[in-house]
Structure 1
């Protein structure tokens, strides 16, 4: 884990999970900022899902592992450990398909008795430039109300689990977490309280972004924060979760799930916005300024970390000028 922070460096808390958070962290490490990643803990698919079933009570490690690797020091040691953590066991046995890092994090959690201590220990090994924290120290489940799964198009069916929600052929109307009263990670709440910039997105909207607003004390911390709040929109709608969604619909869903949330900036790729004025109006309704930049890797639906870093620097500069950066 990184050493004591420098007072002149803005503190950035990135909220999310999976590949979206990975690209955000890959951009942030290019800037002179202190980074804390607050990661979703509701994954129930792949290796994380298998480990949740085999080791009850553990925090699913997959998204946490990916955040650590994004922040690993790019020297020989950090690169080796990052590659090792991402390496998946081969073969047909019980370990096949598990990333090494998932097993290490579960083992460290059992040895140390605390997932936060486990992440800090893993971060020290990898020379992580920042800190990775779970949104909660207990595993959570995503529950969604989905339409379009029955003959009656208006009928709502409740489905459970991150994989089921992410891959549904229906239209997700709302999401919640189970248990609804789970406690947020205290270290995450402290980081949000001290932050100069909070980022939400990019990432799977209903399963990586919105869950941070479904945990009561975490949502309260985000809503009450004095930090500049930035939403980074996805480059394309996600099959199942947000298929057919326009960029402005992503903001409307965010507002529906957290009506009290105010946003300061919305960042989107210029080429992916068909109706800029409509998106600007949707952003303004949340209190935000819209930034349209070229932040995609050409010919793909993936963000370019260096271009995203440049855009983040612009937002940080605005936050500083407006007095939000303390």
Structure 2
């Protein structure tokens, strides 16, 4: 049986975790990556050269590197950051390689594909939009002196660090062009994966690109949400698992979810979470997906096993909780 065609959405460490697992269970994997980073090496390159921020794209490519010597070595190379007293300080090697390919080829997708060939990446990495984006968050209490006042905070770094409560996010520009190859991948997918990751700055922005949102609503693929293991400091403090789903529904009311995957040991109220999942039209799958050392990170092998069992189940018809070994 052919492995399923899977599209994973997100950015940063959350997408790195899902891709590290998914490449173990499918030969047809595409990452669709946020392009709104404005900090660090990515932000500097974006401001200086006017390019898409390469950092989240680089991390996705590193996650798709194989476990052999070639893959592990190149994964370390592209993630390596220079330490100096000069202009190179903090730049990631992979960011510079990606931008060099973009300048030579004048095509972001072609550049990422060539980078994937160099790394022997076990999947494809695409930007979610063809232009750099800014995230704008609607925040309550960003000013501690006015805890009920609602303001707008612009920029991914600022949104992630705001002391207030993020209520919603939007994008600038409001109607960015979606990457055509990403739309095609979603159209042809068997499964689309949301999360884990920073909810407001890595996961939800995909639903604010109109073309991408339409593709996600219209795809024949099943949709799976992989929940975070812990709240994201500065973004989702005090969020319960079900709160994440409520926010997802608020940003995309028409989006139906087939499966929500959560770690069984971190769900305090499974009945409440299951009710929230049913509201989205899906079922709850509980599994051991966290690292055994107790840290709030996904174990790639465990997460891969959970994904594999969900994919094998085929059409999702049960509404009751599925408990995976």
| TM-score range relative to shorter protein | over 0.9
Kindly indicate whether the alpha-carbon contact (under 8 Å) linking 1:41 and 1:60 is maintained by their aligned counterparts in 2: yes
Does residue 41 (structure 1) correspond to residue 32 (structure 2)? The answer is no
**Correspondent of 2:273 among 269, 273, 279:** 279
Offset at 1:35? Answer: 0.3
Give a deviation string over 1:269-317, Cα, whole Å, max 9, x none: 1111111000000000000100111110121100111110111012111
Number of positions where the alignment pairs a residue of Structure 1 with one of Structure 2: 315
**Correspondent of 2:24 among 30, 34, 39:** 30
Offset at 1:128? Answer: 0.8
Offset at 1:320? Answer: 5.0
Residue ranges of structure 1 left out of the alignment (5+ in a row): 1-6
Does residue 305 (structure 1) correspond to residue 305 (structure 2)? The answer is no
**Correspondent of 2:116 among 123, 132, 140:** 123
Kindly indicate whether the alpha-carbon contact (under 8 Å) linking 2:27 and 2:122 is maintained by their aligned counterparts in 1: no
Offset at 1:206? Answer: 0.1
Relative to structure 1, is the Cα distance of residues 321 and 247 closer, same or farther in structure 2, using a 3 angstrom cutoff?
closer
Distance of 2:198 and 2:235 partners within structure 1: 7
Kindly indicate whether the alpha-carbon contact (under 8 Å) linking 1:228 and 1:319 is maintained by their aligned counterparts in 2: no
Residue 215 of structure 1 is matched in structure 2 by: 209
Residue 105 of structure 1 is matched in structure 2 by: 98
TM-score by length of 2: 0.94
Distance of 1:271 and 1:74 partners within structure 2: 29
Offset at 1:155? Answer: 1.4
Offset at 1:321? Answer: 7.0
Kindly indicate whether the alpha-carbon contact (under 8 Å) linking 2:5 and 2:26 is maintained by their aligned counterparts in 1: no
TM-score by length of 1: 0.94
Distance of 1:44 and 1:152 partners within structure 2: 27
- Equivalent residues in 2 for 1:55-70 (5 A)? 55-56=49-50, 58-70=51-63
Offset at 1:154? Answer: 2.6
- Equivalent residues in 2 for 1:135-150 (5 A)? 135-150=128-143
Residue ranges of structure 2 left out of the alignment (5+ in a row): 318-325
Which shows bigger deviation, 310-319 or 91-100? 310-319
Give a deviation string over 1:218-249, Cα, whole Å, max 9, x none: 01101111101000000011111000111100
Distance of 1:156 and 1:321 partners within structure 2: 40
Offset at 1:318? Answer: 2.2
Kindly indicate whether the alpha-carbon contact (under 8 Å) linking 1:266 and 1:283 is maintained by their aligned counterparts in 2: yes
Residue 3 of structure 1 is matched in structure 2 by: none
What is the SS of the residue equivalent to 1:302? coil
Kindly indicate whether the alpha-carbon contact (under 8 Å) linking 2:258 and 2:316 is maintained by their aligned counterparts in 1: no
